[in-house]
């Protein structure tokens, strides 16, 4: 395969923020007396605000206002991610490798662009990406391919020559639908058989991505 660019998800792939989001989500569910809701959280992984609220509108009891629920969740999550969020294993090694190989990089995250930029700046890696495409920049969020197609266009690369790096099932589906070479580094959710049937690559961490790409970069 001819690789001309790498496009990264952010939460749970570049920065270790999904565990924080899950903890706050469960506390939000407890606040609304909903009990344990890991299954619901897994459905929300990788989605932007619009898609998140669409899913919640179907899943939450009718007595709970979706906007109030998401506002409560995001407000408390934001308070915990103002400070730098730790990088995931292998991030800087992979970014170094891609820069040496002259492979351009972008971020395609469902997080709002301003918040994504702030988190990446706080973690010290925002400057290492040519573009940061947030979920507010597209109409259809993951698992639709829109955000990956937009990132590829920004880099002026054909999607078929880009690697899409993801942790969540919704993100994997988005990058796959965009026609990219997809590598998944699972975080909160391991891929099930239905996802594995896509035929994408699953690796343990970003350090392993370097070995996987060496024959083509």
Q: Quick: pLDDT tens for 97-152.
A: 999 999 999 999 999 999 999 999 999 999 999 999 999 999 999 999 999 999 99
Last residue of a domain, one of 80, 100, 125: 80
Strand pairing category for 201-202 and 162-166:
unpaired
- What does the pLDDT read at residue 214? 87
Strand pairing category for 162-166 and 131-133:
unpaired
Last residue of a domain, one of 42, 59, 80: 80
Whole-number Å distance between alpha carbons of 130 and 132: 7
- What does the pLDDT read at residue 55? 95
Residues 9 and 68 in one domain: no
- Which letter does DSSP use for residue 192 in this model? -
Query: pTM of the full predicted structure?
Result: 0.92
Residues 189 and 105 in one domain: yes
Last residue of a domain, one of 80, 104, 124: 80
Residues 130 and 60 in one domain: no
- What does the pLDDT read at residue 145? 98
Residues 128 and 183 in one domain: yes
Q: Which of 11, 146, 167, 187 is catalytic?
A: 11
Given a contact cutoff of 8 angstroms between Cβ atoms, the answer to whether 85 and 11 are in contact is no
Q: Which of 9, 146, 167, 187 is catalytic?
A: 9
Distances (CA, A) of 197 to 145, 179, 190: 18, 15, 13
Given a contact cutoff of 8 angstroms between Cβ atoms, the answer to whether 106 and 155 are in contact is yes
User: Helices 91-100 and 206-213: crossing angle, nearest 10°?
Assistant: 30
Give catalytic status of residue 96 as yes or no.
no
Specify the number of domains making up the chain: 2
Give catalytic status of residue 9 as yes or no.
yes
Residues 110 and 120 in one domain: yes
Write out the residue range of the structural domain in which residue 59 sits. 18-80
Q: 162-190: string of b/e by CB count within 10 Å (b at 16+)?
A: bbbbbbbbbbbbbbbbbbbbbbbbbbbbe
Residues 207 and 140 in one domain: yes
Residues of the chain below pLDDT 50? none
Given a contact cutoff of 8 angstroms between Cβ atoms, the answer to whether 84 and 47 are in contact is no
Residues 34 and 120 in one domain: no
């Amino acid at each position: 395969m001819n690789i001309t660019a790498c496009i990264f998800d952010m939460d749970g792939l570049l920065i270790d923020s999904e565990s924080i989001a899950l903890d706050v989500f469960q506390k939000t569910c407890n606040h609304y007396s909903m009990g344990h809701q890991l299954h619901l959280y897994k459905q929300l992984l990788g989605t932007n605000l619009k898609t998140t609220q669409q899913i919640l509108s179907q899943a939450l009891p009718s007595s709970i206002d979706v906007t109030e629920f998401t506002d409560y969740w995001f407000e408390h999550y934001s308070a915990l991610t103002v400070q730098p969020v730790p990088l995931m294993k292998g991030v800087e090694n992979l970014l170094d490798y891609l820069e040496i190989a002259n492979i351009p990089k972008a971020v395609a995250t469902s997080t709002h662009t301003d918040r994504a930029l702030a988190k990446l700046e706080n973690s010290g890696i925002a400057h290492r990406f040519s573009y940061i495409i947030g979920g507010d920049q597209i109409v259809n969020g993951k698992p639709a391919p829109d955000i990956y197609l937009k990132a590829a266009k920004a880099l002026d690369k054909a999607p078929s020559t880009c690697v899409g790096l993801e942790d969540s099932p919704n993100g994997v589906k988005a990058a796959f639908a965009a026609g990219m070479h997809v590598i998944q580094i699972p975080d909160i959710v391991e891929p099930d058989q239905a996802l594995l049937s896509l035929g994408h690559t699953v690796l343990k961490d970003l350090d392993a991505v370097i070995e996987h790409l060496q024959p083509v970069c």
